[in-house]
Amino acid sequence: MPPPKPRVGELLAKKAGRKLGVPVVAAHRAVLSQPMDWKNLPKVLFPNNPKAQEILGKDMMSRAACFWATNCIRGCSIRANFQSTTVLLPPALATGNLDIITDAMVREVVLDDSGKATGVHYIDKVTRRDAIAKARVVILAASTCETSRILLNSKSRDKAGLANSSGQVGLNLMDSVGTRLGAHIPAMEDLPPMNEDGAGGLHTYVPWWLVNEHAKLGFARGYHIEMGGGRQMPEVKNFGYLDSTSPGVYGRKLKEEARRYYGAQFGFSGRGEMLPNKDCYSELDPNVVDQWGIPVLRFHWKWSDHEIKQAEHMQQSFAAMIEGMGGKAKPLSGADAIQRPGEIIHEVGTARMGYKAAESVANQYCQTWDVKNLFLMDGSVLPSNPDKNPTLTILALAWRSSEWLMEEMKRGNI
């Protein structure tokens, strides 16, 4: 689909990037910029399945294109942006084959005597009663850390912890490397009033551009840059900037200053690849349980030199971009700038996929090596954390694994 149009700050960033050799390109978002091709797409996606074509065609027809003016983070009532609650679940419910049990806190996967998964044991959060959901196949997609927590809290035949013969459950925990830097850009002062809300986030983006220069950089892999600023729907916190531009003003002057400076802030944030290391992992806390009596995880974390250097490089790049846009930047050191682990909410790892059962928890189809009818379809299986936001990769892997699972079920292997 066509990407959303760049806004004032993004055009300025593009200009600055051109001089610095930093490519600022259009960001294609998971937001409909035009109506969906509901007549043809379902046939392409489900060529031999008329029922799926019909359900999906109707569903796609009812999704509208974005009107670029509301806060996507709160959910999209016209279903222009992608959310599982509005885009994936309605057609799945329309098949008549889906039951959703809400307010269910899963404690563990239940096995039969042969070691096969037979369902999950959960607590109904409303009645606080224990219950079992029976299943021919169990797919955990509880989010990275919760999936490994369920595995560690489950019991395999001879020991605590399920699908963990490799000892890898809980290890290789990663988040994205993140830092940010913003500044006042005088060229963006006094812009005419306009709505720059757009598609709830960036319309332009910088993919990693120094892929051939690692020898000089001192760290492996790379990062992408996201950016934002301008005249978007104000929030109370946005007005703090007047303390620095116009301290002490009030009355008419305050209004004039607000009109002059509002929207003249622009910032960059980086999302970088972290490599797994032995110091970053989770394990069951032996002393703490949650309100349901289920042991919680405790986390261990230490950024390696590699991530600290990457964060420092991000700060230098952001500062160069800000200066190129006419602002004044104060870059921080990598150690001071790097955001806390978990803050970017891209946590992945802890049950990695791999080629060998001895070194990984699941195979390339997200099937656990130890329990053939137990699958992990979330970020837990990612063996590394590329700089890209992980959601689309998780969806793609889940889709591929689900198709393989269906075939295996038809073949009678599962």
- String of contacts with ligand SF4 for each residue 45-84, x by CB under 6 A: ---------------------xxxxx-x---x-x-xx---
Tell me whether residue 196 or residue 378 sits nearer to ligand SF4 (CB atom): 196
Q: How far apart are CB 195 and ligand SF4 at their closest, in Å?
A: 10
Among 12, 16, 27, 31, binds ligand SF4 (CB under 6 A): 31
Tell me whether residue 83 or residue 95 sits nearer to ligand SF4 (CB atom): 83
- Cα(160)–Cα(155) distance, rounded to whole angstroms? 5
Tell me whether residue 69 or residue 345 sits nearer to ligand SF4 (CB atom): 69
Which stretches of 68-157 are DSSP H helices?
Answer: 89-94, 144-153
Round the CA-based radius of gyration of the chain to a whole number and report it: 24
Tell me whether residue 79 or residue 107 sits nearer to ligand SF4 (CB atom): 79
Q: What is the β-pairing status of strands 374-376 and 138-140?
A: parallel
Q: How far apart are CB 76 and ligand SF4 at their closest, in Å?
A: 3
Degrees (nearest 5) of the Cα angle 312, 318, 321? 145
Tell me whether residue 9 or residue 201 sits nearer to ligand SF4 (CB atom): 201
What contacts 264, CB < 8 A, 6 or more positions away?
184, 185, 186, 188, 189, 191
Residue 50 dihedral angles phi and psi, to the nearest 5°: -60, -35
Q: How far apart are CB 158 and ligand SF4 at their closest, in Å?
A: 50
Which stretches of 24-113 are DSSP H helices?
Answer: 41-45, 50-61, 89-94
Secondary structure of the chain: what % helix, strand, coil (to 5)? 30, 20, 50
Among 6, 170, 200, 230, binds ligand SF4 (CB under 6 A): 200
Q: How far apart are CB 239 and ligand SF4 at their closest, in Å?
A: 23
Residue type, 409: M
Q: Which helix (H) or strand (E) holds 110?
A: strand 104-111
Q: By CB under 6 A, what part of segment 80-119 binds ligand SF4? A: 80-81
Q: By CB under 6 A, what part of segment 208-237 binds ligand SF4? A: none
Q: How far apart are CB 87 and ligand SF4 at their closest, in Å?
A: 11
- DSSP assignment of 224-264, as one string? EEEEEESSPPP-GGGGGGHHHHSTT--HHHHHHHHHHHTT-
Interface with ligand SF4 (CB under 6 A), residue total 13
Q: How far apart are CB 6 and ligand SF4 at their closest, in Å?
A: 16
Q: How far apart are CB 33 and ligand SF4 at their closest, in Å?
A: 9
Among 139, 199, 206, 361, binds ligand SF4 (CB under 6 A): 199
Q: How far apart are CB 379 and ligand SF4 at their closest, in Å?
A: 24
Residue 126 and residue 133 in contact, taking contact as beta carbons nearer than 8 Å: no
Tell me whether residue 161 or residue 229 sits nearer to ligand SF4 (CB atom): 229
Provide the residue count of the chain.
414
- Cα(414)–Cα(406) distance, rounded to whole angstroms? 9
Q: How far apart are CB 65 and ligand SF4 at their closest, in Å?
A: 8
- Cα(28)–Cα(275) distance, rounded to whole angstroms? 26
Is residue 202 involved in binding ligand SF4 (CB under 6 A)?
no
What contacts 300, CB < 8 A, 6 or more positions away?
279, 280, 281, 282, 283
Residue 87 dihedral angles phi and psi, to the nearest 5°: -110, -40
Tell me whether residue 63 or residue 352 sits nearer to ligand SF4 (CB atom): 63
Tell me whether residue 81 or residue 179 sits nearer to ligand SF4 (CB atom): 81
Tell me whether residue 13 or residue 72 sits nearer to ligand SF4 (CB atom): 72
**DSSP letter (8 states) at residue 85:** I
Q: How far apart are CB 201 and ligand SF4 at their closest, in Å?
A: 9
Tell me whether residue 107 or residue 203 sits nearer to ligand SF4 (CB atom): 203
Closest by CA position to 292, among listed 129, 145, 111: 129
Which residues contact ligand SF4 (rule: CB under 6 A)?
A: 31, 66-70, 72, 76, 78, 80-81, 199-200
